[in-house]
Structure 1
Amino acid sequence: MSDGLSLADHITLELRADIIGGRLLPGKALTEADLVLAYNASRNTIREALHRLGQEGLTRYVRHKGVMVRQPGADQVRDLFQVRRTLELQAIAASRPLREQQSDSMREAIEATQLARDREDWRAVGTHSLRFHQRIVGLLGSPLFDEFFTTVVAQLRLVFSAAPDESRFQAPWLARDRMIYQHLIENDRPAALEALSTYLDDSEQQLLEVFNPGSRH
C-alpha cells in the first residue's frame, strides 16, 4: 500500500481503533468469515491481523468459540496502571513548558470529552479522556512510546467497558483532566504530578472494585 503498511497492518489498526472507540466490547467474537467479507481480505490476512491483536493483549482464542475480544481482569488492571504511572508521570516530570501544538491537542481532547459528556455518550467520554492521557505520554517525544501506549489505551478501553455503570465511573474524571491540563499550562510540574498521581490511584482503585467488589489494595 502507498503508506507502506500491509492490508494486515490496516486491519489491525482499524480493529484496534474499534476497541478504543468502544465499538468492539469484551467477549465479542471476531469471526474470520465476517472479517474476510468486511475487509475483502484473505483468511491468512485476517488471521495475521487477529494474531497481532492477540499479541497486544486485545483478543484471545477460546476453544470451540474462536477469537474473541479479551475480557480483562484485576491483574491486568494493576499491570496497566503500573505502566501508566511509569510513562505518564515520567512524561510530566521530564516535560518542558507546553508548546502551542501540545497545548492545543490536549485542549481539543478535553473539549471532545466535554461534548461527549453533554450528549451522555459515556463510552466516548472514556475514549476522549484516554486520548488526553495519550497527549501526556506524547510529551516524551518518543514515537515508540506513543505506539506502545496506544495498545495500553486499547486495553484500558476494555477495562472501562467492564464497569456496570460506565456513566457513574466516567463522570468524575473530566474535571480532574482539566486540572492536570491547567497545571501543565502554568508549567507547575509538581502540582501536575500530584494531581495525576492521585488521579491514577483513584482510577485504579475504582476499577479494581469492579472486578473485586469490596477490595482495597
Structure 2
Amino acid sequence: MSGKDASELPLGAQLLLEMREDIIGGRLLPGTALVESELVKAYNASRNTIREALHQLDREGLATYVRHKGVMVRRLGLAEVRDIFQVRRTLELQAILTSRPLREYQSDRMLDALEAAELAQSREDWRALGTHGLHFHQHIVGLLRSPLFDEFFATVAAQMRLLFSLAPDEEHFQRPWTARDRQIHDLLGAGQRQAAGEAMASYLDDSENRLLDLLSAARPL
C-alpha cells in the first residue's frame, strides 16, 4: 500500500503485484488453476514473466505446484491460520502501540478503506467488504513506516483472502468486522493507543478463532 510506484518496478514485479492484488480482491480463489497460456492473455505478459511471477507466488505461499495439475492458487490449513495470526499480532499490535499521533494522510487512507467497506456492506457485496477490510489493516501496518513490512504484509493480506474463501456464508463471516475496524481507527485518532491495541488484540483473537472453527468444521471425519 506504499513504496515505489508499480510503474517503476521490473515487469515481473509489476505482474506479481497485480496477481497478488487479484488474490486480495478475491478474483483468484483457492484451487484456481494458473495456466500459463491463459495468464499470458489475461495479464498481457510473456511466458517468462508469468513463470517468474508464479515462482514468487509459490515462495510466498500463495500458489503451489500440484502433480499432474500444474500451478494452482493455494488452499491453506490450520497450521497456516495460526502462523498468519502470529504474524498479524506481531506487526499490527506493534504498529498501533508504537505509533505516533495519526497524521491526516494516514487517517484519510484508513477512512477511505472504511467508507468503501461500509458502502460494500450497504450493497451486500461481501467479497468487496473483505477486500477493503484487508486494505484497512494494510494501512495499520503502514504506521510502522517500513516499505519492507508493507511488502511482506501484502502477502499476509493475500493469504487472509484465501482463508476468507473458507466461509460458506460470506455475509455472516464479514459483517462484524467493519464496525470494529472503525472503532480501532477512532481510538487511534483520539490518541488512545492502549485502547486501540486492546481492541485490535480482541479483533485478531476473534477472527482467528472463527477461521479455526471454519477449518475444523470443514475437515473430513
TM-score, normalized by length of structure 2?
0.93
Q: Which residue of 2 aligns with 1:174?
A: 178
Which residue in the other structure is 2:19 paired with? Answer: 15
Q: Give the AA of the match of 1:62.
A: V
C-alpha displacement of 1:44: 2.1
Q: 1:161: how far off?
A: 1.1
- AA aligned to 2:172 is R
Distance 1:128 1:45 in 2: 28
1:210 partner amino acid: L
Match of 2:68, SS? Answer: coil
Give the whole-Å Cα distance in 1 for the aligned partners of 2:214 and 2:173. Answer: 10
Tell me the CA shift for residue 214 of structure 1. Answer: 10
Q: Which runs of 5+ in 2 are unaligned?
A: 1-5
Number of residues of Structure 1 aligned to a counterpart in Structure 2 = 214
RMSD: 1.6
Tell me the secondary structure at the aligned position of residue 60 of structure 1: strand
Contact preservation (8 Å) 2:29, 2:162: yes
Using the TM superposition, give the Cα deviation of residue 40 of structure 1 relative to its aligned residue in structure 2, in angstroms.
Answer: 3.8
**In 1, Cα distance between the equivalents of 2:94 and 2:10?**
34
Among the aligned pairs, what percent are the same residue? 65
Instruction: Work out whether residues 32 and 72 of structure 2, in 8 Å CA contact, stay in contact via their aligned partners in 1.
Output: yes
Instruction: Write the distance in 2 (CA, Å) between the matches of 1:137 and 1:162.
Output: 25
Q: CA deviation at 1:36?
A: 2.0
Deviations 1:39-83 (A, max 9, x none): 343322211110011111100000111000001111111100000
SS at match of 2:144: coil
- Counterpart CA distance in 2 for 1:42 and 1:139 is 36
Structure 2 Cα separation of the partners of residues 9 and 81 of structure 1: 26
Mapping 1:92-107, distance limit 5 Å: 92-107=96-111
CA distance in 1, matches of 2:169, 2:60: 26
Classify the secondary structure of the residue corresponding to 1:25: coil
Q: Structure 1 72/104 Cα, relative in aligned 2: closer, same or farther at 3 Å? A: same
| Cα distance, 1:27–1:214 mapped onto 2, change above 3 Å | closer
Please show how residues 82-161 of structure 1 align to structure 2 within 5 Å. 82-161=86-165
Letter paired with 1:155? Q
Ranges in structure 1 where 5+ consecutive residues have no aligned partner:
none
**Aligned residue type for 2:25:** G
TM-score by length of 1: 0.95
**Which residue does the alignment assign to 2:55?**
51
